Chain A
Amino acid sequence: MKAEKFPTEKQTVKKQGWKDIPEGGIITRAASAKMNKTGSWRAFRPVIDESKCINCAMCVLNCPDNAIPFRDGKRGPVNLDYCKGCGICASVCPVKCIKMEEETKFRK
């Protein structure tokens, strides 16, 4: 079985032949999920009203992609590389300070 060279995001367009991939579909690299930038799936973007946020971390805990960081008792900005725009954060926010806005608005 060959050691796998994990392709970069751009290289994934070029797909490998059956002789060059690890057997059994295993992934021979740690944390490879990081490469899958699920942010590209996003149709709605969470926009946080910082003035209302109470730092309760409900959005942090419920985010299925761990895309909202929390350090030293403070919530950080949403990591848009991985945020799929699912809206769970907006739904669980007890003070309703997160609004899901159409992604197209930001991509002009």
Chain B
Amino acid sequence: MAAKGKTVPLTGNYAIAEAMRQINPDVVAAYPITPQTSIVETFSKFANDGRVDTEIVRVESEHSAMSACVGASMAGARAMTATCSAGLALMYEIVGVASGLRCPIVMPVANRAISAPINIHCDHSDSMGARDLGWIQIYNETAQEAYENVFLALKLAEHPDIQLPVMVCEDGFITSHCVQNVRIYDDAVMKKFAGERKPIHSLLDLKEPISVGAIELQDYFFETKRQQQDAMEKVPKVYLEVAEELSKITGNKYGFFEEYKMKDAEAVIVTMSSAAGTTRAVVDKMRNEGKKVGLLKIRLFRPFPYEEVARALSKAKNVAVLDRSMSFGAHAPLYGEIRNALYEMEKKPGLQSYVFGLGGRDLLESHVRQAFNDMLTGKVSREKRYLGLREASE
């Protein structure tokens, strides 16, 4: 069923709150943190106005927010929260509990730098730091994409083969606070798509009682973790199924990544979130100048689609990977994954790492152009490069 909906001027955060309103989760437990705050603030307004039936749990910290969500989720409820940066860091312990207990919690993250120095602006160090905690991670470029992917995340998380939590990431301030055209699809259609959660087990089910959170030591812990890997490996198939279902409503595509002008591209930039928009604008301009450039925008970062990415990059001459976070003493997170993906290819493209935009530093079109020009002229090396960084005092 296609849903027309209506176009409204919304920020990324408001668009996410709209998705949550249509989903009408049973429980939302959250603690405010800039720049996530307006998601929960807006959603609380919906609850106060009686537009959702959600039980809002006002907690004293993010650790408690995730704890409340885990409890609710194990009781069979559809539970959501939202956070970023220090908030995500504070809930870290329970983030692992949520995935370990197989709670299908959906959590929007308005990506923000990890202190110190203290900074409220965007980079991906918060969710990248949590990339090995067993959550599915989807990165979003626009408010529209974030809105739609909350639904995709929900159905993916709750699928009986998956039962894993999902982070729906948007760039803090850049997307979270940017007013854009957003198409909000009809309530009835989206509510039907979201449906009701059908928990496999529930703490409140007296006929089939369960215990959760029991200790597992050397005897069973390893097996339980192996199951999480199994579920992650099942994600791509289910992701595509849910994507197809959602696509019928929206008409949009939801691949693991987006390929833009990649067919004959010699120089390719791989990046995520809002940087992909700026890169696409530069691709258009450079294509007008006759340059063979393209963009690979990664949406699904966990699980990482290694084989598909390798195929997509197989024709490129040189590939620049633009990371909005660092892994100190190691390859930047996205660059490392791309490098992994290319390992088994016989003819590998040249690969170059660029880090940009830490702590909200603007990514300018001139930076993107510089990376493309490096790739077009074969300036590829193993050095770590930085875009928009002051090498010397001005």
Contacts and interface: CB of A to CB of B under 8 A. Distances in A.
Q: Do chains A and B touch in the complex (CB under 8 A)?
A: yes
Contacts of A21: 220, 223-224, 227
Given A24-B100, A25-B100, A25-B214, A18 B226 contact: yes
Contacts of A105: none
Contact of A15 (B102, B103, B219): B219
B141 to A, nearest CB: 33
Mostly helix, strand, loop or mixed at chain A's interface? loop
B200 interface: yes
B223 A26 contact: no
Contacts of A17: 223
Contact of A23 (B102, B208, B209, B214): B102
Interface stretch (A27-35, A41-49, A51-59): A27-35
Contact of B223 (A1, A16, A28, A30): A16
Contacts of B163: 1, 23-24
Contact of A27 (B211, B222, B223, B231): B211
B364 interface: no
A35 to B, nearest CB: 12
B101 A24 contact: yes
B101 A26 contact: yes
Contacts of A23: 102, 163, 224, 227, 231
Nearest to B208: A28
Contacts, number: 58
Contacts of B201: 1, 22, 26, 28
A22 B212 CA distance: 11
A24 B212 contact: yes
Q: Give the dominant DSSP class at B's interface.
A: loop
B214 A18 contact: no
A46 B213 CA distance: 32
Contacts of B160: 1
B220 A24 contact: no
Nearest to B97: A24
A30 B224 CA distance: 20
Contacts of A28: 201, 208, 210
Contacts of B103: 24
Interface of B: 100-103, 160, 163, 200-201, 208-214, 216, 219-224, 226-227, 230-231
27 contacts: A1-B160, A1-B163, A17-B223, A18-B222, A18-B224, A21-B220, A21-B223, A21-B224, A22-B201, A23-B163, A23-B224, A23-B231, A24-B212, A25-B101, A25-B213, A25-B214, A25-B216, A25-B220, A25-B224, A26-B101, A26-B210, A26-B214, A27-B210, A27-B212, A29-B210, A30-B209, A32-B211
